[in-house]
Every structure is written in C-alpha cells, then in structure tokens.
Amino acid sequence: MEFRTVIGLEVHTQVLTETKMFCGCSAAASDVPNTHVCAVCLGMPGVLPTVNRAAVEKTVMTGLALDCTIPRFNRFDRKNYMYPDQMKGYQISQYELPMAVSGFLDVEVEGETTRVGITRVHLEEDTARLVHRSGPDGDYSLVDVNRSGVPLMEIVSDPDITSPQQARLYLVALRRILRYIGASSGNMEEGALRCDANISQRSEDGLIVGPKVEIKNMNSFRSVERALDYEIERQRAALRNGETLVQETRGWVETQGITVSQRTKEFADDYRYLPEPDLPPVEFDEAWIGMISTSMAELPVARRDRFVADFGLSFHDADVLTDDVIVADYYEQAIASSGGHYREVATWVSGELFALARNRGGFEYVTVTPEHLSEIVTMVASGEINALTGKSVLLDTAESGTAPRQIVMDQGLTQVSDASIVDDVVREIVAANPKAVEDYRSGKQAVVGFLIGQAMKQMRGRGNPDVVRQALLRTLDNT
C-alpha cells in the first residue's frame, strides 16, 4: 500500500516588542531570573491586563504578509489550565475570533512553487520558564517569570504540507517574512520561534489511514525535517505491519534521532475557553488595517523579483541577497552610491562580505559600511585598484574603519597600468627565470601564471593583471 503524508505546522513566535503583552515590563530576555516582572505578569490578586498595541499591529501585519483576511472583530479568550508556568491559572489567548484567518504562503521546493494554506494567526502571552533541578533533597523546579507575558503569536498552517523538506522550506520562508516585517527575531535556538508538527498518513486516494500525531521538542529547522522523516517511516512501517497507531503527542530526541511517546490523547484536553472578560473585544477599522498594510516592509519574494528586474541580477544572486533582510538592506544602501555597478556589488556582498560574516559569526557583525563597500567596488571597476587590492583594503577597512580611498592613498595601492613600468618589471622577471622561459617555449602554458605571480609580487600586488599578462606574453614571444 502506498501512503501520502499530511503535515500541518503550528509555529509559536515571540513578537518583537519593547514591552510585554499585557503590562509595561520589558519583553527582552534577561539572564537574571525574575527581574522583568510586575504584579500584572506575576498574576497577583486584583491585577488586570491591558493590551500592547505594538503586538497587535505586528500580528495584523503578519496576517497581511501571509495574505490572510483580517476579521473586523477579534477577541481574547482565557485558556484554562493550572501549571506552575501559568501565573493566573489561565493563559490569555485567542480561540474563536483570531486576528487573521485564511491566508497562504508560497513555498519553493526544488524550483516548484507550492502553496501552503494558513489557517489562522492569533496573539497570546508566553508562559513563565521552568528550570528543573536536582538537589540533595530531591528534584525541584525553579520558575523564571521574565518570559511570562511576552507577546506570543501562533501561526497555524493548513494540513497542506506533504513532505518534511517542504515543512522545512515553509519554516524558512515563514521566518524570512517574520524577520522582514520586524515581527520576530525568528531565533529558534533561543526559543523565540518554536514549531510543533501534526503528521498523519493517508492512502493514495486521500482516505485517512492513520491518526494525527503531534511532534514536539524540535529545536531547529533541520530537526523538524529529520523528525518528520523519522515519523513518516515509523508510521508507515506500523501501518504496513498492521499495528494500530494511536493519536498521541511524541517528543523528538535529537541525540538519538527518534520520536518517543509523551502522552496519548485518550482524554482530550479541556481548556474550558471563555471570552476574556477583562478585555473588551477588539474592533479594527478598515483605515487602520490599510495603514498597517502601507507601513509594511516589502516582502522577500517581491524584493527578490525587483532585484532581478531593476538591478539585472541573476535569480540566484537576488535570492541569496534577499534571504536575510539585513543583507538586502545592506545591498540596497551599497548600490546607491556605486554608480550603477549592481552586479559587481552583488558579487562582493555574496563573496567577500559573506566570508567576513562567517568569520565574525553573523552578518550583523560586519563593520564595513555599505558606503565603504561601494567605494571599493567603484575603485576596482574603474581600474583604480585591482581586485586583489580591493579585497585587502576591505579587510583593512573592516579592522580599522578607515575609508577605503584613504587606505589606498596612504599606502600607495593604486593600480599600475603604465606599460613602460610594467615592461621593465616583466623583463626583469623573464631574465631572472630562464628555466620558466624554457618551459614556456617547450609548450608549458602553465608557467605564464607563475611568471605573472612573480611580476605582481614585485609590484606589491598593484599591477593591472591584464597589462601584466599582455606585457609578459609579448616579452616571451619576442625574446
């Protein structure tokens, strides 16, 4: 029997705001536990929540970026469950009337565009963080309330995803959008973005043949893909062997590469949702939604297409440059003063700057300003310096912050294209390397590169490579 896999993803992401969802405490992470807390996010008796406007705006913006409908009315609800990470015994969330519904996200899988439906986007509050410890008197848990009340957005996909690879690419595309519009840092390792997956098997003709299994504890996009790969095989093997699969929650164990059962859903959770009486229903007017829509940053796909159309970049280059909003912004700032050298700047960004970023641990740590990069690219393009010099100037600028032109002037790095100077150098090199000249004459073209290198070395790298090559060939052929 052949199977089809059905996957739906639930993404929780902390919304990037200054303050918490329902109080004025800082929403920033802190290494010192229980410092970003107040009576409200501690759930003390008598406190009341007030809604963070910025969180609402960013959630609506996310909905718009995912082509969702923004219903006119939405409402907060109480999701009741008692646990020590829950300060009030309930979480303020959205159940019946979320902020955004019925959208989609186009995901490119091996060159093909696939569309994944977005069921809903809603806003809620994060829980406190529990730290489990063992001591001489037994196990215990510590509660860090800093995270309690941080705005949390839940993005639920339709069960449209058919492969683990598509699931990963969906997450990549989603995170890219969230980062573009400034809704989320998208940082999965720090827990700012979390993903649960629902996965089940159907027969070829679409009949459900296996129950829905929820997978948790996946800490990277790669582990989402691996966990789903594993789970597909586990489910299919069970079905082929005639075993009964149960509806359950399973946890991904990264170190072993397996999922293990956490709890079965014999008893459905009953969260006893009720409309949050402390917060009146929210009503959006069209004009406000229009304002959010207008203020939204250009989305990745649109930006990539524009880079191709306006700057003559290849699809691949444009894709690479628009993957991260910081890079795309950097690129656009750099080309502004580059005198139209769009493709050259693209090559420098994706080559030299990415290398620099890798060394420094991230693009945000690259200290070369877009204007300085543009200066280097312009000098190289005009022949003022050669590419090799450009690269060393870039590193110098990255270290010292000195303007590239200043470095070139101070160190006399201007490219030497004057044929008479080059000819003198070449003659010296030829004279000093009779063996190489002999090899060349006997047909070994490879020695040309060696001789060019010697000449360039003599000229401290400043020689114009074309002029040097021509002078060398001329000298060799005429000697």
Partner 1 sequence: MIKVLTALGLVDARRLLDNREISAAELTDAHLNWIDEIDEQVKAFITPMHEQARGMAADADRAIAAGEASPMTGIPVALKDIFCTVDAPTSAASEILKGYRSPMDATVVERLRAARAVFVGKTNTDEFAMGSSTENSAFFTTHNPWDLERVPGGSSGGSSAAVAANEAMVSLGSDTGGSIRQPAGFCGVVGMKPTYGRVSRFGLIAFASSLDQIGPFSRCVEDSAMTLQAIAGHDRRDATSAPVEVPDYLEELRAGVKGLRVGIAEEFSSVEGMEPGVKEACEAAYAMFSELGAELVPVQLPNAKYALPTYYITAPAEASANLARFDGVKYGLNIESDTLLDTYLRTRGEGFGPEVKRRIMLGTYALASGYYDAYYVKAQKVRTLIKRDFDRAFEGVDVILAPTSPTVAFKIGARVDDPLQMYLSDIFTIPANMAGLPGISIPCGFSEGLPVSLQIMGPAFGESVIFRAAHAYEQATTWHKERPALLRERADTTV
Which 44-63 residues touch partner 1, going by CB under 8 A?
44-51
Which 81-100 residues touch partner 1, going by CB under 8 A?
82, 84, 87-90
Applying CB under 8 A, among 10, 34, 43, 172 the residue interacting with partner 1 is: 43
**CB nearer partner 1, residue 262 or residue 367:** 262
Distance CA 316, CA 438 (A): 45
Applying CB under 8 A, among 270, 285, 286, 477 the residue interacting with partner 1 is: 270
**CB nearer partner 1, residue 88 or residue 122:** 88
Structure tokens at 38: 């107040």
Structure tokens at 74: 């939405």
- Of 79-87, 111-119, 406-414, 458-466, the segment contacting partner 1 by CB under 8 A is 79-87
In terms of phi and psi (left: phi > 0; alpha: psi -120 to 50; beta: otherwise), the region of 362 is left
Applying CB under 8 A, among 104, 273, 284, 450 the residue interacting with partner 1 is: 273
Residue 132 CB, shortest distance to partner 1, in Å, is 12
Structure tokens at 366: 């690259």
Residue with tokens 């080059």: 422
Helices (DSSP H) in 2-135: which residue ranges?
A: 53-65
Structure tokens at 289: 């939604």
**CB nearer partner 1, residue 279 or residue 381:** 279
Applying CB under 8 A, among 26, 34, 80, 163 the residue interacting with partner 1 is: 80
Applying CB under 8 A, among 204, 264, 280, 479 the residue interacting with partner 1 is: 280
**CB nearer partner 1, residue 82 or residue 287:** 82
Distance CA 144, CA 125 (A): 15
CB 341 within 8 A of CB 381: yes
- Of 61-69, 200-208, 274-282, 353-361, the segment contacting partner 1 by CB under 8 A is 274-282
- Of 5-13, 78-86, 113-121, 208-216, the segment contacting partner 1 by CB under 8 A is 78-86
The answer to whether residue 136 forms part of the interface with partner 1 (CB under 8 A) is no
Tell me the sheet residues that pair with 157. 118
Q: Which residues, at least 6 apart from 27, have a Cβ–Cβ distance to it below 8 Å? A: 14, 17, 18, 19, 20, 21, 36, 150, 151
The CB density around residue 33, as the number of other CB atoms within 10 Å, is 16
**CB nearer partner 1, residue 278 or residue 418:** 278
Applying CB under 8 A, among 278, 305, 310, 410 the residue interacting with partner 1 is: 278
Residue 441 φ/ψ, nearest 5 degrees? -65, -30
Distance CA 174, CA 193 (A): 11
- The residues that touch partner 1, with contacts defined as CB under 8 A, are 39, 42-51, 78, 80, 82, 84, 87-90, 143, 268, 270, 272-274, 277-280
